[in-house]
Amino acid sequence: MNHPRRITLALAACSALLAAGGALAQAAPAKLKVGLMLPYTGTFAALGTAIENGFRLHVAENGGKLAGREIEFVRVDDESDPAKASDNVNKLIKRDNVDVLVGTVHSGVAMAMAKVAKDTGTLLIVPNAGADAVTGPMCAPNIFRSSFSNWQPGYAMGEMVAKKGHKKVVTITWKYAAGDESVRGFKEGFEKSGGKVVKELSLPFPNVEFQALLTEIAASKPDAVYTFFAGGGAVKFVKDYAAAGLKKHIPLYGAGFLTDGTLEAQGLDADGLLTTLHYADSLDNPRDKAFRLAYAKTYKLQPDVYAVQGYDAAQMLGVGLAAVKGDIGKKAEFAEALRRARIDSPRGAFTLSKSHNPVQDIYLRQVTGKENKVVGVASKALPDPGRGCRI
Ligand code: BEZ
């Protein structure tokens, strides 16, 4: 081969190498750090794990990436303790430099997260906690929820219990934002339809000494009881309600957390209970069937509402990231994409309200064996009122 031809070939090889190098550099953008702030201990431990499982499942289905960016996780156990919440979230942002916050389960902890997210502009996706304020007065362009507001299942059940002809109801819950707001939603739906909440009972979170309150319910002789409990507390409440002999005489209704992810432990004591929620075990849609199959295969467990909310939090992050081609700094475009999105959830597709809360069907479910079976839709495409939100 003559000299100039060798040079030409060498130059061609160099530019091919350079081009390949450039392509490689482009193909591997920095990892996206997701800060999972969830309860891994305490009464909500199983809920935190299910959310993480759901989130990871969606990421795994996309080869470990969202919008081309590899996902790296940093985990914090928030212990469902509002007193530790600001420190925990600040550590994730300042020490661990997370790009996105995903959390949490407990409404009090979520409100502390929302405050820090709003002050720092960090993207926050709430995969459970229903604190009305998060998509109410605390709403912000960078805060989204993949779950529900406490008002939503409560309000739907209020209307439903009134339709069943009950007039006099006693409520019982934990005394914190989620319990208070669930009861407030119930009361709004029930009383506008002609019912009356005659007594509101509560105990501090996460106490489970229900006996004195159950005695008070028996003495009040209401037509029905409405309740908000979740996780380990819900298991104990359902069992204690039955053991006190109340289940046979005073119908118990609840926000669906009462019987979601808890049926193995509640056994026959939960059988027949009616609850309202944005998910159920017997939804007959292909999206849910595929999700349930993949979840069961991956984790050797049946999914619950918390797993769905985690999965959808990851879907929402994926939708926003895709719109900004992985550049999470483009906050306005990210938010706009989510505001326009239709999230293809196992619960049924949903959109987001102006305050960034899911607009979704609330199902009426009945416990049958080990399943929360759909009885019907209690409220179609129910938006949270988003009271006090100005975005
Ligand atoms: C809450 O604190 O918002 C909550 C906790 C568990 C289940 C549902 C809501």
pLDDT tens profile 186-232: 999 999 999 999 999 999 999 999 999 999 999 999 999 999 999 99
In the chain, the largest separation of any two C-alpha atoms, in whole Å, equals 105
β-pairing, 252-255 vs 65-66, is unpaired
Structure tokens at 240: 């204690």
Index of the ligand 1 atom closest to the CA of residue 108: 2
Is a pLDDT exceeding 70 seen at residue 15? Answer: no
> Whose CA is closest to atom 3 on ligand 1?
129
Site residues for ligand 1, CB cut-off 6 Å: 44, 105-107, 128-131, 150, 178, 230, 257
Which residues sit opposite 343 in a β-bridge?
Answer: 350
Q: Alpha-carbon distance 222 to 55, whole Å?
A: 41
Q: Alpha-carbon distance 203 to 222, whole Å?
A: 19
Q: How far is the CA of 26 from the centre of ligand 1 (A)?
A: 41
Is a pLDDT exceeding 70 seen at residue 252? Answer: yes
β-pairing, 196-203 vs 168-174, is parallel
Confidence of residue 27 (pLDDT cuts 50, 70, 90): low
Q: Are 278 and 151 in contact (CB under 8 A)?
A: no
Is a pLDDT exceeding 60 seen at residue 12? Answer: no
Testing ligand 1's pocket by substitution, the residue of 37, 80, 107 carrying the most ligand atoms inside 8 A of its CB is: 107
Lowest mean pLDDT among 13-27, 41-55, 300-314, 336-350: 13-27
pLDDT attached to residue 90: 96
Index of the ligand 1 atom closest to the CA of residue 105: 5
- In this prediction, residues 325-346 reach a mean pLDDT of 97
pLDDT attached to residue 28: 73
Is a pLDDT exceeding 90 seen at residue 5? Answer: no
Q: How far is the CA of 306 from the centre of ligand 1 (A)?
A: 10
Q: Are 275 and 368 in contact (CB under 8 A)?
A: no
Testing ligand 1's pocket by substitution, the residue of 105, 175, 258, 260 carrying the most ligand atoms inside 8 A of its CB is: 105
> Whose CA is closest to atom 7 on ligand 1?
230
Confidence of residue 4 (pLDDT cuts 50, 70, 90): very low
- In this prediction, residues 140-165 reach a mean pLDDT of 98
Is a pLDDT exceeding 90 seen at residue 26? Answer: no
Q: Alpha-carbon distance 290 to 270, whole Å?
A: 27
Structure tokens at 97: 């430099």
Index of the ligand 1 atom closest to the CA of residue 44: 6
Q: How far is the CA of 14 from the centre of ligand 1 (A)?
A: 59
Is a pLDDT exceeding 70 seen at residue 239? Answer: yes
Q: What is the percentage of the chain residues whose pLDDT exceeds 90? A: 92
Q: Alpha-carbon distance 212 to 219, whole Å?
A: 11
Taken in order 236, 239, 242, 244, the sign of the CA dihedral is negative
Mean pLDDT, all residues of the chain: 94
pLDDT attached to residue 1: 41
Q: What one-character-per-residue DSSP string does 5-73 give? A: HHHHHHHHHHHHHHHHHHHHHHH-PPPEEEEEEE--SSTTHHHHHHHHHHHHHHHHHTTTEETTEEEEE
Is a pLDDT exceeding 60 seen at residue 381? Answer: yes
201 Cβ contact partners less than 8 Å away, ≥ 6 residues apart:
170, 171, 172, 173, 213, 216, 217
Q: Is 276 exposed, middle or buried (0-12, 13-18, 19+ CB in 10 A)?
A: buried
pLDDT attached to residue 3: 47
Among residues 246, 205, 13, 184, the alpha carbon closest in space to that of 107 is found at 205
